[in-house]
Structure 1
Amino acid sequence: MAIKHFTHHEAISSAVPAEQGFEAVIAVKARREDAHPTFHKVATERHFDLASEAEEAADAALNRVTEIGENDELLWDEQAV
């Protein structure tokens, strides 16, 4: 799990249980008391048998996030690998 801080948001990468294995996700929450987290599935083309594999993919995806949009959408560095 990794945390990345932005001007008005925080983003956390993680793995969550899925039907058969795990999914890689990034949770985004605005820095307001009334804000609720938004969850984004990442690495959706892959299936993860282990939580550690999904978490590694989520961490890599979070490293590519350059900013969080007004509606909690992830803005990516398209040049990053």
Structure 2
Amino acid sequence: MQLGKPWCSTCCVHFNTFEEHREHSKSEEHVFKIQIRYSSPSIPRYVMEKAMEHWDRVKESWNDPSDERPGDGSELYQVEAP
């Protein structure tokens, strides 16, 4: 962490101004990470990182509720522990 610079410990990101930090805190990605972080049970960091690799697909699925998804679990990813 750099002294005097705004910092998001959830996303591990530095900002040049407090305005940038404020905008970031309103972003969908940040809000999603906060929700995951404080939901229980706790999700291991490597699972969270894998989920964030597919953030665009996650966000897209939220915005398109009419899209039918198979119920057989084929949309889930297998994540191996590091």
TM-score interval (norm. to shorter): 0.3 to 0.5
Relative to its length, the structure with more helix (as a share) is 2
The structure whose residues are more often strand, as a share, is 1
Bigger CA radius of gyration: 2
Q: TM-score, normalised by structure 2?
A: 0.35
